């Protein structure tokens, strides 16, 4: 990820509709897991970035955060998170049957993750028997754009591909769906239009989609739409298109 993106992420995570939306979805499934287990959970946010999700998960139990990037961990520490460590999940398991719940939100797409299957196996090893993985990755290569340059995207995924990779890594796949389905047409048109810009635009420093601030009313309206979709996903509805893919799997 471009160095400037960490500061942008840290500044945006609390309120930006995209971050707040995915965090709302993760928390819905995480709370359901805590209810199912009827106890405090041992949780790992694998690829915790600047730490907002790990912070939000703390009421559900003991939360660890790990990331390969030191600048991200330094920003996460500003949030007062007490259990942060550096770990490359593409190379080693972050634990041995240590966690009830692992979240991996937009991590496996990254250039550093050359072997997604190996990374998933490392996450599986870190889960206790019956443990739960909440996974998100970006969807569809036709949506690749400047944002992917900024965040160092190696690969965007298909829904059937995610299902296959999870199963091959030894997970029992419970739920896989695209999300942000309503945003797919607009995102596709934006990506196609951006490819028509002159090649000189590619020489400019790339910036992610969250680099552009939105007026508060628009941000809140978009977040309300995402939360509505989240309720449908949490109820078991699946979408064939979207800008991200969300999955729930167990050991």
Q: Give the closest residue to 159 by CA, choosing from 142, 137, 186.
A: 137
In the prediction, which pLDDT does 201 show?
A: 47
Domain boundaries 3-250, corresponding CATH code: 3.40.50.150
Do residues 170 and 251 lie in contact, with contact meaning Cβ atoms separated by under 8 Å?
Answer: yes
Burial 202-223 (b: 16+ CB within 10 A, else e): eeeebbbbbbeeeeeeebeebb
Region for 153 from its dihedrals, namely left if φ exceeds 0, alpha if ψ lies in -120 to 50, beta otherwise: beta
Cα–Cα distance between 230 and 202 in angstroms, integer? 35
Per-residue pLDDT of the chain (251 residues; tens, 9 = 90+): 666 788 989 999 999 999 999 999 999 999 999 999 999 999 999 999 999 999 999 999 999 999 999 999 999 999 999 999 999 999 999 999 999 999 999 999 988 888 999 999 999 999 999 999 999 999 999 999 888 888 888 899 999 999 999 999 999 999 999 999 999 999 999 888 877 765 544 455 666 767 677 999 999 999 999 999 999 999 999 999 999 999 999 99
Cα–Cα distance between 13 and 72 in angstroms, integer? 13
Whether this prediction's pTM lies above 0.75 is answered by: yes
Cα–Cα distance between 237 and 219 in angstroms, integer? 25
Cα–Cα distance between 144 and 237 in angstroms, integer? 26
Task: Count how many Cα atoms sit within 13 Å of the Cα of residue 33 in the half-sphere of its side chain.
Answer: 28
Q: Give the closest residue to 189 by CA, choosing from 157, 227, 237, 143.
A: 143
Residue with tokens 């471009």: 2
Q: Which two tokens stand for residue 60?
A: 């559900």
In the prediction, which pLDDT does 190 show?
A: 86
- Helix (H) / strand (E) element for 217: namely helix 216-234
Cα–Cα distance between 164 and 155 in angstroms, integer? 15
Domain ranges within the chain, ordered by starting residue: 3-250
Is the alpha carbon torsion for 144, 70, 17, 59 positive or negative?
A: positive
Cα–Cα distance between 63 and 12 in angstroms, integer? 22
The DSSP code for 153 is: B
């Amino acid at each position: 990820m471009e160095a400037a993106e960490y500061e942008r992420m840290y500044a945006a995570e609390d309120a930006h509709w995209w971050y707040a939306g995915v965090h709302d979805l993760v928390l819905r499934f995480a709370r359901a897991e805590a209810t199912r287990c009827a106890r405090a959970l041992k949780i790992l946010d694998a690829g915790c970035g600047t730490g907002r999700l790990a912070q939000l998960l703390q009421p559900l139990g003991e939360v660890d955060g790990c990331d390969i990037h030191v600048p991200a961990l330094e920003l996460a520490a500003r949030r007062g998170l007490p259990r942060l460590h550096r770990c490359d999940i593409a190379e080693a398991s972050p634990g041995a049957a240590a966690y009830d719940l692992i979240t991996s939100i937009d991590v496996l797409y990254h250039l550093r993750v050359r072997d997604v299957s190996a990374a998933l196996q490392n996450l599986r090893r870190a889960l206790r028997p019956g443990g739960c993985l909440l996974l998100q990755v970006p969807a569809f290569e036709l949506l690749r754009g400047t944002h992917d340059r900024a965040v160092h995207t190696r690969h965007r995924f298909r829904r059937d591909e995610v299902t296959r990779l999870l199963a091959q890594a030894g997970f029992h796949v419970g739920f896989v769906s695209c999300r942000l389905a309503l945003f797919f047409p607009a995102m596709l048109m934006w990506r196609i239009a951006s490819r028509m810009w002159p090649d000189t635009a590619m020489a400019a420093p790339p910036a992610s989609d969250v680099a552009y601030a939105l007026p508060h009313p628009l941000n809140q309206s978009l977040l309300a739409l995402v939360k509505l979709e989240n309720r449908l996903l949490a109820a078991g509805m699946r979408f064939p298109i979207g800008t991200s893919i969300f999955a729930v799997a167990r050991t």
